[in-house]
Chain A
Amino acid sequence: MMNIPCPFCGPRNEAEFAFGGPVKPHRPDPNAVSEVEWTQYITTVPNPLGPVEERWWHVKGCGTWLTIWRDTRTHDIVEGPGDAG
């Protein structure tokens, strides 16, 4: 079980949360990118064997959305590359 750190409620059992999916890159302007880039954006999410950045919704708690990095092998909440330091 994960203890997801909610900025308002503190660490809470993951059963209180709904999963919001991995963080995707910024939605491109379909007319400004190639067809391959556009369909890739629409159809593909990151699927790493390791840390992934994702959104969670504290739906059975305070209702806020938050972002964490989670290791898909262990489900440990980890520091993201940008968080260090």
Chain B
Amino acid sequence: MNFTLKIWRQQNRTSKGKFIEYQAINISPDMSFLEMLDAVNRDLTKKSEDNIAFDHDCREGICGSCGLFINGRAHGPQRGVTTCELRMRHFVDGTTITVEPWRSRAFPVIKDLVVDRTAFERIIQAGGYVSVDTGSAPEASSIPVPKANADEAMDAAACIGCGACAAACKNSSPMLFLSAKVSQFALLPQGNAERRIRVQQMVKQMDEDGFGLCSNTYACEVECPKKISVVHIARMNREFLRAKFL
């Protein structure tokens, strides 16, 4: 397959970026989107040109570092996949593909398609943890957890913190991320002790980072590579209300 790529190139945080066109030639339909970018970069290396910078690590959809905004969609047009899991067979041969970095004031561009997502780390540091010494793995079933709660907490814990929710949201709100973290702990006995303080501090940090406010468009749910549901946002709102008023 052959593609024309329009890729956002930006030297550093402060410079003004622009789109530059590249040709991706002889691309196998089984290649992932990142492998296709690797192929383009190999050509650039041969020509001694500056490679296109993009973030990646696991390349199997578990680390959350590879978010790209492809043809106007976070992680491309396919549902429930990260950019590294997206295959080139989902694109029409000979077409033009536009690639942009996540755009959010809280995710400044570092270079080309790489953005600084430490805002998410700060949100986690504000409350996305349980402050007890966990020690070694406890005896199974020593803390009873209803199966339904365990399942839902597990669904929430599937969040890989890739930032697609904030990237796709018209308000640049990371509420799906934040709510997944809040849910994951609120549903389990271990997280119970700190549930009030957790939700308040995480929301406060989100606001300080300059993210927008959720207006329930649910674009995040459509774009989430882990298909996390907006019911977690409803739960997070409940947690917040309860922390403030009960």
Question: Are A and B interaction partners?
Answer: no
List residues of chain A with CB under 8 Å of any chain B CB: none
